[in-house]
Amino acid sequence: MNYVVQSGDTLYSIASRFGVTVQAIMQANGLTASSPLYAGQTIYIPTGGGQPVQGPGQAGIPPGLFPPGLFPPGGDRRLEQRVARLEAETDRLQQRLRRTDNEVDRLRQRVDRLEDRVRRLEGR
């Protein structure tokens, strides 16, 4: 199935969501560990029998794909808390970006109106 990458998605989070391995997604899309994911990118999710990923070296996650210490023993809860905190921060940053974009658009319209007034006053 095709999936459109959302802001904040990682190969790990996508694999977990769909119950497939990171390696399976990487192979299906010709990705490497250093391949960037970006919001709006469409990737293929090979469904059909994969097991949910659990950690490096398990369920097809290549060792070294994630930084050391990301999966401490019994750290699933801490990892979920970190992910939730990062998702919340991403949402806050996206809201700030939208507000900034809106402000830039408003200022651009204001400049355009002022330029039109100047042209009219100069008789162009």
CA distance 14 to 51: 13
Closest residue by Cα to residue 70 from 8, 23, 1, 13: 13
CA distance 55 to 32: 17
Q: What are phi and psi of 118, to 5 degrees?
A: -65, -45
pLDDT at position 33 is 77
Q: What contacts 51, CB < 8 A, 6 or more positions away?
A: 19, 21, 59
88-107 mean pLDDT:
91
pLDDT at position 67 is 53
Confidence of residue 75 (pLDDT cuts 50, 70, 90): low
pLDDT at position 58 is 44
For residue range 19-54, list pLDDT tens digits in order. 888 889 989 998 887 788 888 999 999 976 444 444
* pTM of the model as a whole: 0.40
Angle, helix 22-29 to helix 11-18, in steps of 10 degrees: 110
